[in-house]
Structure 1
Amino acid sequence: MECEYKRLLLECSITLQASPVWDPKSRSCLCSLFVVAALFCGAYFISSGFIAKEYKDRLSRWEVINMLQNSKFNVCKIRCRPPGTEALPQGIVVKMSNLEMRPLWSDAVKNGNPEPSANLLAIAVGIKQKEIVDRIVKKFPSRDFVVMLFHYDGIVDEWRDLEWSDRAIHVSAVNQTKWWFAKRFLHPDIVAEYKYIFLWDEDLGVDNFDPRQYLSIIEDEGLEISQPALDPDKSEVHHQITARRKNSRLHRRIYKFKGSGRCDARSTAPPCIGWVEMMAPVFSRAAWRCAWHMIQNDLIHAWGLDMQLGYCAQGDRMKNVGVIDAQYIVHLGLPTLGIMAENELNSTQVNITQREHFSKSEAMAPSESHKVDNRPEVRRQSFIEMQIFRKRWENAVKEDRCWVDPYQQSVNKSTR
């Protein structure tokens, strides 16, 4: 219609220029032009109404789409995603792992392999305690426990003759402690599939210990952090709370009325209650996730950590931390780290600067055992690290204004 209107307008313009003003032909042209213009305007307004309605409909749809997009953006924005996975679709992200070994071919289920183990036993070991460690590992059923050995003396191949060695995870780093290994190889996301983590020393007698019965007790009692009691007649006992009580299933506190550090019914803080020693602790996965973050990278002896483990008890440390009397062990107290034969020093490539710590008389004097004893130095370093850890804790408490100490009143009420 627009093209027809333009053609007619052009013809009328030519006619009007060539004819008198009121010529019949001119009047006819003007009438036709008026009619066509009226029709064009009517069509324009009608079509404008449809266009406006369609535009409004489209705008409404765009607003809905935009609202949905913004809503999706907001939902995705608040969704918790591990750092570094932002570029990946959520379904492909695997947040955790485990220590299960996988076959190079075929299907593990078809081969009759058992289901993944539910718990983890990790031990720092040296070859001198091979027989003791062998007895410990044999106590832990393979279908219930993954075994991980931390070889602090660098010797791994000499463990291969043990029947369980091939299913164990072997990690070797010379002259490192259990806590150094744990901080680096037992990240909470790696061990998240295991319900309980046994982080043990190597010098433990297990004749009177059954792992399954132990697990049954701590699950019944709701213990997040625990340890088996020590046989007081055969063990090296450093803290009375770890000593076994006869005819008892477990205990959570100790009573001590003589000497320093008295503990009575009013005591609410470690080491009177809510405390375990560090030679054979057992953590729930939630408690270990907390404890792992508290282990310092450079304080490898972890002295002082035991006094703060109650903060990781997932609640009241007076209820969720305990010592199991019904399943007890023997702490042999064998000296391990720091005592090495001279040929071991050479084989492990000890740095020359370490030798400079010994006096010339020590270096040159003949010894019947041909051993170098660094235990005093190790113990001294442990004390130093304990002081450093305490200072770091105090500074962290002062600097974190949002943190509230749930045990502050308990500490004030405790008797020392």
Structure 2
Amino acid sequence: MKNTSVDLPIKRHKSLLCSRLFGAILVSAAFFISSAIIVVDHKKRFPELQNSDAMQADPTNICENQCSLDGSEALPKGIVVKTSDLEMRPLWGPRKKRKNPKSPMSLLAMAVGKKQKANVNEMIKKFPSDDFVIMLFHYDGNVDEWKDLEWSSRAIHLSAISQTKWWFAKRFLHPDVVSEYAYIFLWDEDLGVQNFDARRYVSIIRNEGLHISQPALDPDKSEVHHEMTTREKGSTLHRRIERMSRSKKKCYRNSTDPPCTGWVEMMAPVFSKEAWRCVWYMIQNDLIHAWGLDMQLGYCAQGNRTQYIGIVDSEYVVHYGLPTLGGSPQNKTNTESSIEESSSLQDKVSLESNHTDIRAEVRKQSLNELEQFKRRWRKAVQEDGCWVDPYKQQ
């Protein structure tokens, strides 16, 4: 006879063990399913986690999303050089060390002709080689005749017949090329600099935070077109005028528009590298005289034209107003006088008559370009729905 008293506890023990095991499996399955539901729901709420998982799963996505400059995609990122400068390097051996390498260099760029060689020589002597790179735009094609000057070998010479400094600047002074220079001096060749010191000038505009500036004009010796640019004696600099301007506009203490404030003229502007990056984009490729640009420079003054644009009175210049690109100047330099004295009277009359006609055409073209620039500005404002004029009268 079979002993059922022994079998019954064993069966009950097995049954209890199976039920416990089955319950554990059910609990584990429920936990696993609920965890999966929570994760899926969490990723739906935060989709960026999916992107993170995908990037971890596929590292190539990191490279695909890496930004590259146009045209540099075929190069390893570390070899790409975004900017340049205008400093010349020796073919061999070490570079010449600057006296003060911590002080940033600046750039003096000028459009020049042979007739103003003597005056340009005096101007460049005011810009120490340890602080300034010199770049000359030769609008008459005469480059070799400057080789006898002491500083000529360290200057950069470019030549294009009958082109203005703005034409040169648009093509050769791209912001990425001149980004190493703290200030860009874009000057005419007919300035007297007897009362100007370049180092002191840079020190003043740096301390005053000026992004766009110019040296004041000596009112007794200069051709002055706008009252804003005239020197105020006993002053270091001024940012506004409070009197009648030569354009017949009355200027007040609270005036906010050019030429009462926030304005410089175009014969001797000085730009910080930040301001130049903006100004360069505003220069039009085909409008070589840049008339009208001066009234809009305030938009490039890094946010406040009444504060960051000014005229430096303590370092001032004389503007002779010589129409060098076509025309015969009324006030002639010693160099020009000596050239004319060697010519016959008949040749002089013929030459001056011809230049006067050319000058009239140049002025006519300048006025036409001024109107074109104004039209382009108005059209650009109308078409750009996102642009907000920070200086618009309320």
TM interval, short-chain normalised: 0.7 to 0.9
Note the C-alpha offset of 1:105: 1.3
Letter of the aligned partner of 2:272 in structure 1?
Answer: S
1:214-250 per-residue CA deviation (whole Å, 9 max, x = no partner) reads: 1111111100000000000111000000000000010
Note the C-alpha offset of 1:86: 1.6
1:147-193 per-residue CA deviation (whole Å, 9 max, x = no partner) reads: 00000000000000000000000000000001000000101011000
Q: Secondary structure at the match of 1:171?
A: strand
Q: Distance in 2 between matches of 1:182 and 1:80?
A: 30
State the percentage of identical aligned residues: 62
Note the C-alpha offset of 1:261: 1.4
Q: Is the 8 A contact 1:232 1:243 kept in 2?
A: yes
Q: Distance in 2 between matches of 1:152 and 1:125?
A: 6
Q: How does 1:17-416 map to 2 (within 5 A)?
A: 66-68=54-56, 73=61, 77=65, 79-108=66-95, 112=97, 115=101, 118-257=105-244, 260-339=248-327, 368-371=348-351, 372-373=354-355, 374-409=358-393
Q: Secondary structure at the match of 1:270?
A: coil
Note the C-alpha offset of 1:117: 6.3
Q: Distance in 2 between matches of 1:267 and 1:218?
A: 22
Matched pairs, number: 321
Q: Is the 8 A contact 1:287 1:314 kept in 2?
A: yes
Q: Distance in 1 between matches of 2:368 and 2:117?
A: 31
Q: Distance in 2 between matches of 1:335 and 1:378?
A: 10
Q: CA distance change for structure 1 residues 66 and 301 in 2, over 3 Å: closer, same or farther? A: same
Deviating above 6 A after TM superposition, structure 1's stretches of 4 or more consecutive aligned residues are none
Q: Is the 8 A contact 1:234 1:332 kept in 2?
A: yes
Q: Is the 8 A contact 1:117 1:142 kept in 2?
A: no
Q: Distance in 2 between matches of 1:290 and 1:64?
A: 38
1:258-297 per-residue CA deviation (whole Å, 9 max, x = no partner) reads: 8831111231111110000000000000100000000000
Q: Secondary structure at the match of 1:384?
A: helix
Letter of the aligned partner of 2:268 in structure 1?
Answer: A
Q: Distance in 1 between matches of 2:244 and 2:136?
A: 41
Q: Secondary structure at the match of 1:368?
A: helix
Letter of the aligned partner of 1:129 in structure 2?
Answer: Q
Note the C-alpha offset of 1:90: 1.1
Q: CA RMSD in A?
A: 2.2
Q: CA distance change for structure 1 residues 126 and 251 in 2, over 3 Å: closer, same or farther? A: same
Consecutive unaligned residues of structure 1, counting only runs of 5 or more, are: 1-62, 341-365
Letter of the aligned partner of 2:318 in structure 1?
Answer: V
Q: Distance in 1 between matches of 2:67 and 2:361?
A: 46
Letter of the aligned partner of 1:389 in structure 2?
Answer: F
Deviates more, 1:115-124 or 1:181-190: 115-124
Select the structure of larger CA radius of gyration. Answer: 1
Normalised to the residue count of structure 1, the TM-score between the two structures is: 0.73
Q: Distance in 2 between matches of 1:247 and 1:75?
A: 61
Note the C-alpha offset of 1:66: 4.4
Q: Distance in 2 between matches of 1:152 and 1:305?
A: 21
Deviates more, 1:329-338 or 1:274-283: 329-338
1:15-65 per-residue CA deviation (whole Å, 9 max, x = no partner) reads: xxxxxxxxxxxxxxxxxxxxxxxxxxxxxxxxxxxxxxxxxxxxxxxx988
Q: Is the 8 A contact 2:55 2:62 kept in 1?
A: no
Q: Is the 8 A contact 1:228 1:323 kept in 2?
A: yes
